[in-house]
Amino acid sequence: MEIWINPACSKCRTATKALDEAGVTYTVRRYLDDPPTAAELTEVLARLNLEPWDLVRHNEPDAKPLRDLPRDAANRPAWIEAMVTHPILIQRPILTADDTTTAVARDPETLSRFLP
């Protein structure tokens, strides 16, 4: 299992604590230090069955230029590029299980799907 985290994020700390307490083996990716490529992000979006604008943290200052960007297929690459360039825009934590099940585990119910 892999988890994309920002160590400053309380939801990320909650998720890693729950995984640790459950004895789950996982790999941490500090995605602000090791941003995903456009291909990786595209793959994660496909696993999540989301569009890029659904995964953006719209309240971040770096999201301001995206406010007027249409949410359509033609602009999908621009949304993805914005998240690659400014990874702070990516919702977190993102968990990917060994079976490729992937979720943004911000709530206890979603997180529990990854626990034994």
Catalytic residues: 9
49: its two tokens: 């069955």
Phi, psi for 68 (deg, rounded to 5): -100, 5
Beta strands in 1-116, from DSSP E residues, in sequence order: 2-5, 27-30, 94-96, 102-104
DSSP letter, residue 27 = E
How far is it, in rounded angstroms, from Cα 18 to Cα 52? 27
